Structure 1
Amino acid sequence: MGVFCNESCVSGTFGMDCKNNCSGNCLNDLICNRTTGKCDKGCKHGYKGELCNKACRIGFYGLNCSKKCSPFCNRNNCQNINGFCLSGCISGYKGPRCEQECSDGWYGHNCSMRCDNCVNQTCNRGTGSCQYGCQPGWRGSTCSQVCTVGKYGPDCMFSCSQNCINKESCDHVTGICEMGCSDGYKGELCDLICGNGYFGANCSKVCSENCSDICHHIDGTCYCKTGMMDSPECKQVSSWTTAKKCDDHCFYAIGISMLVILNVLTCTLWIRERRRQKVKRQSSSNYITTEAEMKEKTSESHEYQEVNSVSRDFSYQNLSFDT
């Protein structure tokens, strides 16, 4: 440059009359050739071409654009200089260049989600699908959904006890009735009947000592001992044993008793009718016999009268002859 062209181009320029600027992408920030503009030592990372003025095409980065972006970069798009993924990682990977798999128990975009509800906290790093199923109380491919109401346990395969108080639902993990058990039942799952001699809420009430047998586990009703009544207390004195509430077999006993009574009444009526018929036949026979006797007596009377008449006539005739 200069009037006599005896001066070198200033640093960073090149060409005729030094009118061109170097690309600024020469390796180690060296200046380009003042005449050609080329980077004599090569281009710095992320650039290529004789003048190092061309960035790496998409999918490549580094020295002379010789390195490929990680296949786990979203859209296969990385920064041309250092290879950092510009759009983040696909599910299951992390790190600036998305070269690291998610740690155990993590999955998803940038490994930001946990496999908390998977058995052994083991899931597919990309999809989160639990490889060994769900822990109790959870369901779905990623075990992220709570069991539906009324279900609990592994894969929500069990149903809550029907004996939870007020039919409330149970804990979706353990199956425990959260509000306790209905009267007559006990245990964490309310699946146990009260032991003999107990009834009511939490099986805390004791059956009356005047029950003749085990009382009902829910309300304590029972058959009272002789002389007692008013179950479940069985305290009031009575001349016969009763129970305030009767089980089905009580009604069967009543039905059988009524049938027996009906049969007895039927037999009694039949016997009475037979006796009445017998008496009637005897009366009729007696009447016939009496009538025959009366006829016989009448006949005898007529014969007697005839004999007497003949006798009188004979006597009269004899008297006539004597005269």
Structure 2
Amino acid sequence: MNPGYQCKCHKIYCTNNACTTCLSSTFFLTSSDNSCCECPQNCKGAFCTRGPQCTSGCADAFYGMDCSQKCTDINAECFICSQYDGMCLVCREGFYPNETGNCISCNDNCKNGQCDSDTGRCIKGCEGTFWGDKCDILCSSSCETCQQESGICFSCVEQTVHGLFCNESCISSCFEGKCEQITGLCSLGCERNFFGNMCQTNCPENCLQTETKTSCNTDGDCLYGCINDLEGRYCTERRIYITSSTNIALAALVGVFATLFISTAAGCYLWNRRRSKPIEQSSEIQLDQIETEKAYEQLQRQAIEPIYRNVDDNYTVLSI
């Protein structure tokens, strides 16, 4: 038996005089002197069996059946190792175990030099333009920085590209060719004579052009007027000119029709009156004729005069 255990072995730990069993699993039974001994102090939970053999593993930094050997005896940077062969499982801060169980330094690209002591994953992110669990993969050359998990660009080196990996060119009609990284929308507006969110639409062709400024606004409205006598927001409406002589002709034509209408109405009125009443006296007939003629002349003046008053001296413009 290990001499170190002798002072910890006593029959008082036995359950009977024959000492066939111990008081608890924190003691183990010896075969040499029929006594029970305390389990080694490095046994996890202080549990062990005959041997002694630690049944719940070893405390951190120890290995062996009785957990009497130090992990650092095999690797100076090791913190936890296998109980059975001493292969390192967890290294101290700044190191992690490789495939053979040797502790190696965290990747230089780990931010602040920190990585998981078990897996080697950089726990604070990556320095510079690297990504991946161990920050050992370069970001796209178009990225300023990128996400550790996916390599997706946080920002682009140039403002003339967009997309998750900054590998898509902004539309050429964006002002200075610059656009937003996520959406591709033109960030500074459009080049001359383009409009729309993506500056993908030409200004209307009938907008009046200037030497330096764009001819339409963000909604496509012409800013400085139209060419070819056109009008409207998009310069798509044409003007039709009607001269004063044409207006006079129209007015005269309307007057003729008004005269014919009034004459016909007056004739019908007289004819109906003669049929319904006998002729009484010639003086009454003459009086009726005079009154009728006055009424006819008044109606004729009212019908014709407004037409001539509304005639423009120059022209009338109609939009169609």
TM-score, length-scaled by structure 2 = 0.38
Q: Which structure: greater helix fraction? A: 1
Q: Which has the higher contact order (CA 8 A, sep 6+)?
A: 2
State which structure, 1 or 2, has the greater radius of gyration over its C-alpha atoms. Answer: 1
